């Protein structure tokens, strides 16, 4: 009877803490991300602020964060009493896709990470695109560019002594 009473008290305490603001999220602690990516993660997780740490759906938050174009992987953990910790592995930029006066940073997985000024990211090689090609942040470049992007990713891993400045592909 005593054991049953203890179990009942523990469950009642858990549900009470889950429903109350005792462990409400007050802070999102983003780790492993540069400032711009951290701001994107904070925006994607702001709905968790005010929710009890016991009620937070960490899988849903991980999914929302991993859907950001600049995120390769994410994990979410609770840090009692009021902090949600989001650990980030940002994607690695391998090049800047250029189309006329427009430019986008591209990851090694061929996904467009973000729009940039054409003169920004001067240390990354340029991938020249035809003017008629449609480019969208969060989406991959057309499959014809995958070999180029994967080659750039491989070259980045090898660490060539000289910088690759530009890449152009011919079709057909």
Tens digits of per-residue pLDDT, 59-87? Answer: 999 999 999 998 999 999 999 898 999 99
Assign domain 23-90 to a CATH class.
alpha beta
How crowded is residue 167: how many other Cβ atoms within 10 Å of its Cβ?
A: 19
> 3-state DSSP: the chain helix, strand, coil percent, rounded to 5?
35, 30, 40
Full DSSP string of 49-68: TTSBTTT--HHHHHHHHHTS
**Closest residue by Cα to residue 14 from 25, 22, 3, 2:** 22
- List the domain boundaries for the chain: 23-90, 93-167
List CB contacts of 167: < 8 A, sequence separation 6 or more.
95, 125, 126, 127, 128, 148, 151, 152
How confident is the model over 79-134, as pLDDT tens digits?
Answer: 989 899 999 999 989 999 999 999 999 999 999 999 999 999 988 999 999 999 99
């Amino acid at each position: 009877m005593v054991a049953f009473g203890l179990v009942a008290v523990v469950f009642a305490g858990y549900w009470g803490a889950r429903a109350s603001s005792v462990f409400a999220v007050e802070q999102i602690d983003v780790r492993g991300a540069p400032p711009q990516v951290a701001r994107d993660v904070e925006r994607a997780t702001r709905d968790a602020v005010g929710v009890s740490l016991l009620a937070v759906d960490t899988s849903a938050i991980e999914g929302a964060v991993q859907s950001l174009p600049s995120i390769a992987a994410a994990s979410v953990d609770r840090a009692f009493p009021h902090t949600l910790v989001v650990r980030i592995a940002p994607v690695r930029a391998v090049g800047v896709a250029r189309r006329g006066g427009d430019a986008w940073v591209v990851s090694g997985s061929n996904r467009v990470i973000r729009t940039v000024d054409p003169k920004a990211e001067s240390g990354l090689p340029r991938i020249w695109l035809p003017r008629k090609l449609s480019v969208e942040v969060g989406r991959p470049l057309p499959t014809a560019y995958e070999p180029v992007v994967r080659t750039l990713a491989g070259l980045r891993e090898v660490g060539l002594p000289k910088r690759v400045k530009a890449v152009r592909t011919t079709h057909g």
